[in-house]
């Protein structure tokens, strides 16, 4: 049995407490504290029932944990619309969580792994390599962190995107478990239709999501219109080439009847010409698709540059003309300066610089 209380669904938490002889009403109270009110200290409430208090006092911090993630760094954006946090896990690993506020609704961008094994060359997290999978509770804890920050401003978190550090479908079980907990109407209550899972294209997991009837939105990071072009940016394309990826997307669309969002990060001269746009339109023909164009956020480990506005507009126009809805997205979440491993990367560089200065002194 997992000792991390945030790893547990409502039913699992009840089983854990009833196994210790506590009545179901106590597990409901504890669930409310952890998931509905997102309290940081389960013992803080004065009205805690004596049996639950005794149970917690005997175990918290030794046998069970509640996973409040301390903030290691924080960068509020200049425009006040995006707030980025570097959160520290129990083993010292650091992950990013971003809160975005646009058009009156608030969205949290969550990490699913420390680092990432997929090695996409333009991505700060990919440049870092893989460290480990997050547990469900570490994903849930990011949501609670964002809810507390927003609640302090009288706001509510309604949307989630899994576009932070890591590849969600490479950590399938933990991610799906976490999303079950997060979308529980008795807790954080974030509707499945307001949750988007973004993947580099882990083909078997896309099919599995469809087969298991997972009710979340799917976003697929495309970025290349031929296998050669895509593999140069996304090494995972060698394992799951375009034909297999598109076929899995067709299957997903047929089974779920849901629209699929395709992300295309525009890189000057690499994937932003009219020929690329025509090939993308060809690839997605017949799919219920929406293309999100994202300006490249330049990173230290990749020489590519952001596309010119004129190229982005032309690309956008061509996709639209082909009958596929398309938007040029503002940089947000992963693609803002601190997104997708960049806050962590910048901090690591800062440390290296400080370290070098220190040893010279």
Q: Is 116 one of the catalytic residues?
A: no
Is 295 near ligand SF4 (CB under 6 A)? no
Q: 100, 340, 345, 346: which one contacts ligand SF4 (CB under 6 A)?
A: 340
Closest CA to 177 of 131, 139, 206: 139
Between CA 160 and CA 190 the distance in angstroms is 8
Is 98 near ligand SAH (CB under 6 A)? no
Is 109 near ligand SF4 (CB under 6 A)? no
Is 167 near ligand SAH (CB under 6 A)? yes
Between CA 95 and CA 279 the distance in angstroms is 36
> Looking at 112-120, 143-151, 309-317, 325-333, which segment touches ligand SF4 (CB under 6 A)?
112-120
Query: Taking each helix axis from N to C terminus, what angle separates 309-321 and 274-284, rounded to the nearest 10 degrees?
Result: 30
Quick check: helix, strand or coil at residue 355?
helix
Is 319 near ligand SAH (CB under 6 A)? no
Q: How far lies 284's CA from each of 172, 178, 231, 281, 325, in Å?
A: 25, 31, 18, 5, 11
x/- map, 194-223, ligand SF4, by CB under 6 A? ------x--------------------x--
> Looking at 45-53, 121-129, 189-197, 346-354, which segment touches ligand SF4 (CB under 6 A)?
121-129
Please state whether beta strands 195-199 and 113-115 pair in parallel, antiparallel, or not at all (unpaired): unpaired
Between CA 136 and CA 183 the distance in angstroms is 13
Is 149 or 296 the residue whose CB approaches ligand SAH more closely?
Answer: 296
| Catalytic hit among 94, 96, 138, 306 | 96
Q: Is 340 one of the catalytic residues?
A: yes
Between CA 341 and CA 146 the distance in angstroms is 18
DSSP 267: B
Closest CA to 240 of 271, 283, 265, 204: 204
For residues 183-202, which are near ligand SAH according to CB under 6 A?
Answer: 198-200
Is 221 or 307 the residue whose CB approaches ligand SF4 more closely?
Answer: 221
Find the shortest distance in angstroms from Cβ 234 to ligand SAH.
Answer: 8
Beta strands in 69-212 (DSSP E): 71-76, 82-88, 94-102, 105-109, 113-115, 130-133, 159-162, 195-199
Find the shortest distance in angstroms from Cβ 239 to ligand SAH.
Answer: 14
> Looking at 53-61, 111-119, 139-147, 248-256, which segment touches ligand SF4 (CB under 6 A)?
111-119
Rounded to a whole number of angstroms, the CA Rg of the chain reads 21
Binding residues vs ligand SF4 (CB under 6 A): 116, 118-120, 123, 125-126, 166-167, 200, 221, 340
Binding residues vs ligand SAH (CB under 6 A): 122-123, 163, 167, 198-200, 221, 263, 265, 294, 296-297, 299, 334-335, 340
């Amino acid at each position: 049995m997992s000792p991390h209380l945030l790893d547990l669904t409502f039913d699992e938490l009840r089983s854990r407490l009833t196994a210790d002889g506590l009545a179901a009403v106590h597990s409901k109270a504890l669930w409310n504290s952890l998931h509905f009110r997102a309290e940081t200290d389960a013992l803080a409430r004065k009205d805690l029932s004596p049996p639950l208090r005794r149970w917690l006092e005997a175990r918290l911090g030794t046998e069970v944990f509640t996973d409040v993630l301390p903030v290691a760094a924080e960068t509020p954006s200049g425009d006040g619309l995006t707030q980025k946090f570097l959160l520290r896990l129990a083993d010292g690993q650091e992950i990013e969580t971003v809160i975005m506020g646009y058009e009156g609704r608030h969205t949290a961008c969550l990490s699913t792994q420390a680092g990432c094994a997929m090695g996409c060359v333009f991505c700060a997290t990919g440049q870092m390599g893989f460290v480990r999978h997050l547990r469900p509770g570490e994903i849930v804890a990011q949501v609670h962190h964002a809810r507390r920050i927003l609640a302090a401003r009288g706001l509510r978190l309604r949307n989630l995107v899994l576009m932070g550090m890591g590849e969600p479908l490479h950590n399938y079980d933990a991610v799906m478990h976490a999303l079950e907990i997060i979308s529980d109407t008795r807790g954080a209550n974030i509707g499945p239709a307001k949750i988007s899972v973004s993947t580099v294209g882990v083909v078997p997991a896309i099919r599995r999501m469809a087969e298991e009837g997972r009710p979340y939105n799917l976003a697929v990071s495309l970025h290349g219109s031929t296998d050669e072009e895509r593999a140069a940016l996304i090494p995972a394309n060698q394992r799951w080439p375009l034909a297999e990826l598109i076929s899995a997307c067709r299957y997903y669309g047929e089974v779920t009847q849901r629209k699929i969002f395709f992300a295309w990060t525009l890189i000057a001269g690499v994937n932003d010409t009219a020929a690329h746009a025509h090939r993308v339109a060809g690839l997605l023909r017949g799919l219920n698709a929406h293309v999100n164009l994202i300006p490249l956020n330049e990173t230290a480990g990749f020489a590519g540059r952001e596309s010119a506005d004129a190229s982005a507009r032309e690309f956008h126009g061509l996709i639209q003309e082909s009958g596929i809805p398309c938007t040029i997205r503002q940089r947000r979440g992963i693609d803002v300066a601190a997104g997708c491993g960049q806050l962590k990367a910048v901090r690591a560089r800062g440390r290296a610089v400080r370290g070098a200065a220190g040893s010279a002194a």
